[in-house]
Amino acid sequence: MPRKLFKAAWFLSLLGQMMATAYVYASLGDLVHVGLSGNGVERDTFFYGVLAVTLAINLLAFIRFSVFRRDDFKSWLYGLIAVVNFFMVVLLAYIFVVNSGEKYEHSRFGVLLYGSGGLLILWIVAGPALALFKKFQEN
């Protein structure tokens, strides 16, 4: 049951990330500033780069190795990909704010950026830690 919930969360996060990518792409100018510095990349290069990273990350959900036979690991992997998709949405929102013509205090975005990054790190650490805990509990 948890695997199905995490799979649904992964799918919904993928849809949300693709919608965020399309929205940000449509609202960007010809030159995309990735940070607060003056450097930038072309809009199409940025868009196809984000699509390539999204495709590479989400293809992990379809790889079937002998390691992936356990439902716990599959659930953790679907959750990890969903968290990465959420992190990508936050990054896209930040790039959208940086490139918008409106005046916005960028320091307020730090909570979201650090919070989603912390969630990603927590998910990466918690999966193997939980697996070790269950393994020691069985013995």
Give long-range contacts, CB 8 A cutoff, 24+ apart: 121-126. 123/76, 123/79, 123/80, 123/83, 124/80
Among the residues of the chain, which ranges form H helices? 2-27, 43-58, 71-99, 110-138
Q: Where are the domains of the chain?
A: 2-138
Where residue 90 falls among pLDDT bands split at 50, 70, 90? very high
Q: Has residue 33 got a pLDDT over 90? A: no
Of 25, 10, 34, which is closest to residue 85 (Cα–Cα)? Answer: 10
Distance, CA of 35 to CA of 51 (rounded, Å) = 19
Express each pLDDT in 46-83 by its tens digit. Answer: 999 999 999 999 988 777 655 566 778 888 888 999 99
Predicted TM-score of the model (pTM): 0.85
pLDDT of residue 102: 78
pLDDT of residue 17: 94
Q: Has residue 5 got a pLDDT over 70? A: yes
